[in-house]
Amino acid sequence: MKLIYQIIAATTLVLSVTAAEPAAISAKDLANQLSAQQRDGSSYVRLKLDVKPANGAPKFKLQLQIKQRRTANSTELVYQVLWPKERAGEAVLLRLKGNEFSGAVFTPPNTVKKLTGGQIKDPLFGSALSYADVLENFFAWGDQKFVGTEVVDRVNCQILESRAGNGASVVRSWVDTRRLVPLRVEKYLASGTAYRRIDTAQVVTDDLNRNLPASLTIQDFQKGTTTELEGSKLKHGVKYADSEFTPEGLTQTAPPKAE
Three-class DSSP category at 54: coil
Please give the share of the chain, as a percent, with pLDDT higher than 70.
90
CA distance 38 to 257: 23
pLDDT of residue 216: 98
- pLDDT digit string (tens) for 61-90? 999 999 999 999 999 999 999 999 999 999
- pLDDT digit string (tens) for 136-190? 999 999 999 999 999 999 999 999 999 997 767 899 999 999 999 999 999 999 8
Question: Which residues lie closer than 8 Å to 32 by C-beta, 6 or more apart?
Answer: 139
Pair 94, 123: CB distance under 8 Å: no
Mean pLDDT of 111-137: 96
User: Strand 74-83 vs strand 111-115: parallel, antiparallel, or unpaired?
Assistant: unpaired
Partners of residue 96 on adjacent β-strands? 75, 101
- pLDDT digit string (tens) for 213-239? 999 999 999 999 999 999 999 999 999
pLDDT at 35 over 60: yes
Q: What is the pTM assigned to this prediction?
A: 0.88
Mean pLDDT of 13-30: 61
Mean pLDDT of 8-17: 37
Dihedral sign (CA 234, 237, 242, 243): negative
Mean pLDDT of 21-50: 91
Average pLDDT score, the chain: 90
User: Cα–Cα distances in Å, from 83 out to 48, 56, 139, 149, 220?
Assistant: 9, 23, 33, 41, 24
User: In the chain, which ranges are continuous DSSP H helix?
Assistant: 2-20, 27-38, 131-135
pLDDT at 203 over 80: yes
Q: How far apart are the first and last CA of the chain?
A: 70
The amino acid sitting at 6 is Q
pLDDT at 12 over 90: no
pLDDT at 7 over 90: no
Mean pLDDT of 37-49: 96
Please give the share of the chain, as a percent, with pLDDT higher than 90.
83
Question: Which residues lie closer than 8 Å to 7 by C-beta, 6 or more apart?
Answer: none
Among 48, 67, 182, 201, smallest CA distance to 127 is for 48
The region, left, alpha or beta by phi > 0 then psi within -120 to 50, assigned to residue 49 is beta
Q: What structural domains does the chain harbor?
A: 25-251 (2.50.20.10)
CA distance 221 to 27: 27
Pair 112, 250: CB distance under 8 Å: yes
Three-class DSSP category at 59: coil
pLDDT of residue 168: 76
CA distance 170 to 182: 16
The amino acid sitting at 244 is E
pLDDT of residue 55: 87
